């Protein structure tokens, strides 16, 4: 178990930070293989329907998470990344746990998709308590699948928003 200090996680709020986050995403797998370029990330990071949070370590952006709280499956982690040198130090756990707390304030389910070839993120999500719901074949790219995963606190009906422990 890695221990992490309390670090600032804040809402993405400047054009400069959008550019930094765009670089972090577009230079990382799985998005390189998926062919997701800078233009697409600028769109995602600027979309007011997404909630984007950044984790700063030593004043640098070390991680980014994009959450979707609208739509038929609210509480969807659209993308999460820890930048190169900060990986494997507990920051991914910190950012995902922060995202879960955010989602559980409104909804009992956190959903995410992980690419079939992303064999590093899959054990990370399993470790974080996510369960496989199903496989969506040929979803983003022909021949590749997305694995839909969920962490849940129980059914939607009767969910007590204050019970977030």
Ligand X SMILES: CC(C)(COP(=O)(O)OP(=O)(O)OC[C@H]1O[C@@H](n2cnc3c(N)ncnc32)[C@H](O)[C@@H]1OP(=O)(O)O)[C@@H](O)C(=O)NCCC(=O)NCCS
Query: Can you give the binding site for ligand X, defined by CB under 6 A?
Result: 1-2, 28-30, 80-82, 87-93, 114, 118, 120-121, 123-124, 127
Cβ neighbours, 10 Å, residue 120: 12
Q: Give the end-to-end CA distance of the chain in Å, rounded to a whole number.
A: 20
The residue (of 4 and 159) whose beta carbon lies closer to ligand X is 4
Closer to ligand X at the Cβ: 129 or 154? 129
CA 120 to chain centre: 14
Cβ of residue 160: shortest distance to ligand X, in angstroms? 28
By beta-carbon proximity to ligand X, the closer residue of 84 and 154 is 84
Q: What's the closest the beta carbon of residue 90 comes to ligand X, in angstroms?
A: 4
Length of the chain: 165
Question: In whole angstroms, how large is the CA radius of gyration of the chain?
Answer: 15
Give me 102's structure tokens.
Answer: 């955010």
CB of 141 to ligand X, least distance (A): 14
């Amino acid at each position: 178990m890695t221990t992490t200090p309390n670090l600032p996680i804040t809402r993405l709020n400047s054009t400069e930070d959008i550019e930094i986050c765009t670089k972090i995403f577009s230079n990382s797998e799985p998005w390189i293989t998926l062919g997701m370029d800078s233009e697409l990330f600028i769109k995602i990071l600027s979309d007011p329907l997404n909630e984007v949070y950044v984790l700063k370590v030593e004043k640098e952006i070390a991680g980014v998470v994009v959450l979707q709280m609208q739509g038929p499956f609210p509480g969807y982690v659209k993308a999460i990344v820890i930048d190169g040198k900060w990986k494997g130090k507990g920051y991914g756990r910190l950012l995902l746990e922060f995202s879960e707390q955010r989602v559980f304030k409104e909804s009992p389910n956190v959903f995410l998709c992980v690419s079939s070839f992303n064999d590093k993120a899959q054990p990370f999500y399993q470790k974080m308590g996510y369960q496989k719901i199903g496989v969506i074949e040929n979803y983003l790219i022909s021949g590749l699948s997305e694995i839909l995963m969920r962490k849940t606190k129980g059914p939607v009906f009767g969910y007590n928003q204050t019970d977030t422990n």
